[in-house]
Amino acid sequence: MLTVEKIGGSSMSKFDEVLKNIFIGKRELGDYYNRIFVVSAYNNVTNWLLEHKKTGEKGIYAIFEQNQDYSTPMDVLLDKLIEINRSLEAIGLDRFEADTFIMDRISLAKNYLKSLGAVLASGYVNRQNILLAAREILASIGEAHSAFNSANILRNNGINSVFVDLCGFEDPEPLSIDERIKKEFENIDFGKFLPIATGYTKGTEGIMREFDRGYSEVTFCKIAVEVNADEAVIHKEYHLSSADPNIVGIEKSIPVGHTNYNVADQLADVGMEAIHPKASKPLEIANINIRVKNTFEPEHPGTVISRDYVNENSKVEIITGTDKVMAIEVHDPMMVGSVGFDKGIMDIFEKHRVSYILKSTNANSITQVIWEKDASESLLHDLKTRYFQVRTQECALVCAIGTNVRRPGVIAAATTALANRKINISALSLSLMQVNIQFVIPRENYKEAIIALNDSLCFKM
């Protein structure tokens, strides 16, 4: 059985546990192989290189974008990466080899950025394309660092590991992402070698052009399809569970066990990504299952995401949501009975490249929930200019999700659970497919609502 397995940045930063639980575990000598690993950068490294994923704090990329001195910050970054190397020496990292590798990679990246800066200054090229190239170069550094170190540590622990560098540094051949993956893996004997691949892959189409920070999942999925893996495994800090253990507590956060790709898409839509929905499509089409495992509970089978699974018993499996959204309501007396009225709203959303998460309508009002960061002044101005009344409301969205929630009383149980906590529902949505019941609530009630719905729909039922 051949598996392709991905390790996230938070887990990578606890590599002693990863080494013990995932790479070695209780495996017999020689049973380490027929696995391919795709690794993310160590925790926070990509934030330092690009920008902080949650806070938006600027990294080296912003410094380059603003035509400021990026060389000194890259030297500071190098010191941090070498400090990470130092922390891994006790579990087998060859410091000299690792330090030499990352110093060379930083030096090459500086040279590339210098050339890009000169081209950018000429004014003869598309600025956005040059900045995207710089973003890709910077992003690749973190994955190259962690993948090289991982392969080095494994070799020094008696495992025949090989570093698969998909970053394409010093490789002028214009390969697509798929072509580069095929080229780098076609001559590896998976029964004798344990490949450790970079989460970043260089390709002529630019892996960040569409996926941005989701690029490591694209690499992971494309490798799995290329080698025709039997299963794709994602190692995370927590199980894919009924609710966030940081909110409801570990004892009431129940591992899901089985779900499907549709549910995974629902989770991604509200920011709880088991996997990037666009990245996972090749796996779904190829009918390759994903298994989400807890890095720190290696004996637990985790949760399997498959194409066709539907729970034979109707139940809510996951409570999730976000408190970083805004509801926009368009009210217009001319809406009632008007064919295609909402097309104008969608044209404005498309103009501003905004996608909605929830949509709820009546005779003369349409409410759409979007990410708060996308609610720009220009978007709201265009809506207010065109329609009779537009109002906004900061809010939270909580979702009751399952592969099969077709059961009388589910919505009643959910609304009762919220009402018992005196939480008002501002809007709600449920499609005919009945996999995701969405409730718009006051932002201050978000965590309380997650607890109430998990208790009522997942933990007790």
Quick one: average pLDDT of 21-40?
A: 84
CA of residue 308 relative to chain centroid, distance: 22
Q: Is the pLDDT of residue 146 over 80?
A: yes
DSSP 268-332: HHTT--SS-HHHHHHHHHHT-EEEEEETT-TTS--EEEESS---SS-B--EEEEEEEEEEEEEE-
Indicate the pTM of the whole model.
0.87
Angle between helical axes of 215-226 and 277-286 (0-180°, round to 10):
10
> What fold does the segment set 3-237 form as a domain?
Carbamate kinase (3.40.1160)
Separation CA 417–CA 439 (nearest Å):
12
Each residue of 57-78: pLDDT tens digit? 888 999 998 889 999 999 999 9
Tell me, what DSSP letter sits at residue 370? E
Q: Which of 8-17, 392-401, 434-443 has the lowest mean pLDDT?
A: 8-17
- Residue 28 pLDDT level (bands cut at 50, 70, 90): low
> What fold does the segment set 318-459 form as a domain?
VC0802-like (3.30.2130)
Q: Which of 44-48, 208-212, 293-297, 311-315 has the lowest mean pLDDT?
A: 208-212
Each residue of 89-109: pLDDT tens digit? 999 999 999 999 999 999 999
pLDDT value, residue 38: 96
Each residue of 181-205: pLDDT tens digit? 999 999 999 999 999 999 999 999 8
3-237 and 318-459 have identical folds: no
Rg (the chain; Cα; Å): 24
- Domain range list for the chain: 3-237, 318-459
pLDDT value, residue 395: 95
φ, ψ at 43 (rounded to 5°): -50, 130
Separation CA 362–CA 337 (nearest Å):
11
Q: Which of 108-117, 207-216, 404-413 has the lowest mean pLDDT?
A: 207-216
- Residue 459 pLDDT level (bands cut at 50, 70, 90): low
Q: Is the pLDDT of residue 460 over 70?
A: no
Separation CA 228–CA 235 (nearest Å):
20
Q: Is the pLDDT of residue 331 over 90?
A: yes
Separation CA 81–CA 389 (nearest Å):
53
Tell me what the pLDDT averaged over the chain comes to. Answer: 90
Q: In the numeric block, which tokens belong to residue 95?
A: 């410091």
Quick one: average pLDDT of 33-43?
A: 93
